[in-house]
Structure 1
């Protein structure tokens, strides 16, 4: 078997071709010598005639040898071209077709729908099982999708696989994508151990009229992010998710100048304390009023700051402004705790921790840093060390958006937190879903058992507020309690005896 494989190897085939050319050349040279020297030695031909005859014969042989060599060279070039084409169109880790191959497939005919299937929490899983095992897992997911769909599966990016299907409309494409995700999520065997994964899919059609992105693969990739955000198995492309990249690009260079020019401000969303029956805390939220564009949405500039590294100066400015505003609140007779969102990029940054603790200690501010569990999971040892420093210095720590991701009791046990904030996804349907109500009540009991206070986010109806009160929730935050508002409006609210919905705040 090995000998047969060796004989079929491209390098052996090229060597065989070159040896054939060499062999033909040797035969030709031998023939020239035989036909030129033999008559000369026999005396039947003069020297000059032998030279002319030999030259002509050599020229003929040379042409024949060159023809053989040219043919071998062409074959060699074609083999190399085929290999380069294969490399260009295939992923080297898994052997699956790559994004370029998917793009070519998408442009091959009208009416095709591109489905991208993303592996959720790819980096977390990869860090847990290792790079080699993750490559095998991606390949296994691709093969399973291929078996389920009957279509060729491409690797569009590290964590995303893609295929093209024929569908009548977006609803049918979404149904196909959702069914594929549901069927493909069964545990995978990787090195003898079962590995569970979650999948999210995005769909987009080639040549959609008015699409800002010409590539359906790009649109489907944005749709994958939308599916994750909406917590759906699959989602279609929405032009509002794409936004204005060209405009956003210019904002990157303007963000730092905006901090210096005073274009940023803070809005405060109140948190209602059920036991005290008043507002005892607020969450600080950054707002950017651009001199030409007006209000820049936070989801745009915060994400931009995260990606460019500007999140640190933005958060440092937030800390300093919060300390100043809290002094103004205190002077007005209102002692409230102010919460600040801390990016995962800063949670393991000792330099930021030094900056924050220096100013908090000097001012005596009562701040709470809101972090997400996923931020801790990115670099748990360093993050937990920073959290311990903050907690030891008297800074409160809140676990934000609890329940929105892969909530882990192991991390909940290790994190020295003071508060747990239940994600609004469970609160918005609290008065309509018995399942959500059960999950919220069990989370409240669990947090209380661990000595944590509980804040419910997304409280928008009096019914939800009443249910949370009955469940023993500590605090409520949402549009029913109040929208994010400037400091001056907050002070006026705190001096008012009640809110519009009848919640007493003073």
Structure 2
């Protein structure tokens, strides 16, 4: 059995199935745990960032208040206001520088409503001053973010009143990385803080969000800051990478991964062992099933009492039943049901297995008569008893029943003579009476003997050859006969001729030859018999007995006979035109004497042509179906067609039928004429037949006249006509016309020859 791919095995599929299910469950659990941990971590980070944002907001507000209070102290100082009012820049700068140092800010500035500006620690350009002035004067912002030299600053201002507003004291503190680190240190988690201004600040989402960063996905919190520049918003941004939040859980994830791999490995091993225990008996059962398909009766091992064990037990029981059933079927296929003897198939197998074997077929003669006398059951017992008797005589060689009354066995023999001698010994001992129902039954047996035959022969089966030998023995009236291929001939090749016969008629291969009939009283030829001749393009001359007999068997005799009648009528016209008024005889098959439609056609053809034809029929043809045949013969006679009884004496002649047939002529079979000059008995039979025919008003024609002595004897016996090789052989129509032209018109001996 070819090995299946491993994934097609139940064991592998069970293992993969359970591993897959466990893996999916484990994956789902891991995803759930990861999501839960991640969600928890994100929640913690979000809460921390929210709290840190609130703290940063308070710190921003507190620092703004602190700076604003310091600026307010300076703005309310009388001396500072006077210095500002009098334009004492040195005093103003000194006061600003002194206060900047005490407050620890990066820069201090006095900005007047008239555009006056004095600064320490900062160098503001005109656009920046314009932006600051616009924010303080127009927008009324006293604390916010201002970009100075590209760097964001926290800026607070306090108004200077004298008593009206004359300007602002401004403090500026750089929001650089150091400042952001100070803010980051206040958080419980390592946040990253930054202040962004401009378009980025305007586009930044408020609240918390997850955004991509260089460290991976990060949680971000954006809080808006006041800005002294309406066109440049500002925001405080806090970020925290989620990987940092999940880092404490990495040991947990590692532990889960190790547990999962170990679980899968454990499950794989356990599932493999479990599936192995489950599939091993199934595999054994599968092997047993495939063995059963190959015709091997293999039983599956029963290793348990569960469903699989019960299935294996049921399979083994089924195998046993199949084995017994096949044995019974094999016995039935190789044995005769009535007698229990081996049958023809068993005999053919035996013949093929025995080297140098010869087949002997024993045919019981008068089988139907004996069977009808003793009954079917008794006949079966008789055949069985005869078979066992022959088997005992053949030293235990099994005897088979080949047909209803035919038994056969295989014997070893060096040649045909030895096989025939053995068959004669067996047939002599086998013909002892058989006791059936307490009474002896006499039997007669005929034996046919045959060897295997040539390879590729149409009769390669020795049983077929022995059956033909049996028929040949019966035909020769012998008890034993070996197969004679010469007598058998070539039936298959001859049968193929019939398919070519109709074509031969149309192609002119079939012709009529005419044999003269000599009239003793007129001393000349007064009639001819039309005889068919076929010259085959490959086989040459085909004997009439061969193709006419086969035409009768295959149903082609009617078109053949119709063609012969039409051709005879035409040839008779040709003879008449040449000055020879002859009666033309045509042979009519006995099979056509029961065909009314043929009679109609033949009578119409003859009467319409006004032809003088004689139909030659055999007496045995009339005896086959006497009522119809006699009626058709009478129709021929009424139509003016002469009737001749052909081959009289060759069969079982019946005077009862002879007197009923409206015949004009009786033809004595040549078997009596050929020995006429040698056998007095034949002469007596011929003379009595001539006298009988004359008494019935019939002419007599003698066939087979080949010697002058026979011709003289027939003349003396009063025979009317003679036909044979002495008178003339069958010749073509043209040759017959030439022969008749040379025939003397006077009476005398020269009329013959």
Matched, 1:504 2:714: no
Distance in 2 between residues matched to 1:137 and 1:426, nearest whole Å = 47
Q: Closer, same or farther in 2 for the Cα pair 1:275/1:349, shift >3 Å?
A: same
Question: More deviation in 69-78 or 271-280?
Answer: 69-78
Matched, 1:269 2:515: yes
Q: CA deviation at 1:268?
A: 1.1
Distance in 2 between residues matched to 1:439 and 1:143, nearest whole Å = 49
Q: Counterpart in 2 of 1:377?
A: 623
Q: Closer, same or farther in 2 for the Cα pair 1:118/1:411, shift >3 Å?
A: farther
CA deviation map 1:203-230 (0-9, x unaligned): 5531457977434454455556667877
Check the 8 A contact 2:672/2:682 in 1, yes or no.
yes
Q: Which runs of 5+ in 1 are unaligned?
A: 1-54, 187-196
Distance in 2 between residues matched to 1:307 and 1:286, nearest whole Å = 17
Q: Counterpart in 2 of 1:43?
A: none
Question: More deviation in 170-179 or 428-437?
Answer: 170-179
SS at match of 1:464: helix
Matched, 1:456 2:705: no
SS at match of 1:280: strand
Q: Which of the numbers 525, 531, 550 marks the counterpart of 1:285?
A: 531
Q: Closer, same or farther in 2 for the Cα pair 1:206/1:353, shift >3 Å?
A: same
Matched, 1:389 2:638: no
SS at match of 1:283: strand
Q: How does 1:297-446 map to 2 (within 5 A)?
A: 297-446=543-692
Q: Which of the numbers 282, 296, 299 marks the counterpart of 2:542?
A: 296
Q: Counterpart in 2 of 1:40?
A: none
Distance in 2 between residues matched to 1:65 and 1:369, nearest whole Å = 79
CA deviation map 1:398-447 (0-9, x unaligned): 23223333333443343333333333333333334444444444444444
Q: Counterpart in 2 of 1:259?
A: 505
Q: Which of the numbers 80, 83, 86 marks the counterpart of 2:329?
A: 80
Distance in 2 between residues matched to 1:293 and 1:136, nearest whole Å = 49
CA deviation map 1:252-278 (0-9, x unaligned): 332212222222210112222333333
Structure whose CA Rg is larger:
2
SS at match of 1:268: strand
SS at match of 2:335: helix
Higher relative contact order (CA 8 A, sep 6+): 1
Q: Which runs of 5+ in 2 are unaligned?
A: 1-303, 434-442
Check the 8 A contact 2:667/2:700 in 1, yes or no.
yes
Check the 8 A contact 2:569/2:609 in 1, yes or no.
yes
Q: Counterpart in 1 of 2:724?
A: 478
CA deviation map 1:60-102 (0-9, x unaligned): 7776676556545533442333233325xx7x7x998765566
Distance in 2 between residues matched to 1:483 and 1:174, nearest whole Å = 45
Q: CA deviation at 1:233?
A: 7.8
SS at match of 2:666: strand
Q: CA deviation at 1:356?
A: 0.3
Check the 8 A contact 1:114/1:216 in 2, yes or no.
no
Aligned residues between the structures: 425
Distance in 2 between residues matched to 1:455 and 1:175, nearest whole Å = 50
SS at match of 1:368: strand
Question: More deviation in 479-488 or 243-252?
Answer: 243-252
Q: Closer, same or farther in 2 for the Cα pair 1:455/1:290, shift >3 Å?
A: same
Q: Closer, same or farther in 2 for the Cα pair 1:134/1:80, shift >3 Å?
A: same
The TM-score normalised by the length of structure 2 is 0.47
Question: More deviation in 326-335 or 211-220?
Answer: 211-220
Distance in 2 between residues matched to 1:490 and 1:343, nearest whole Å = 25
SS at match of 1:421: strand
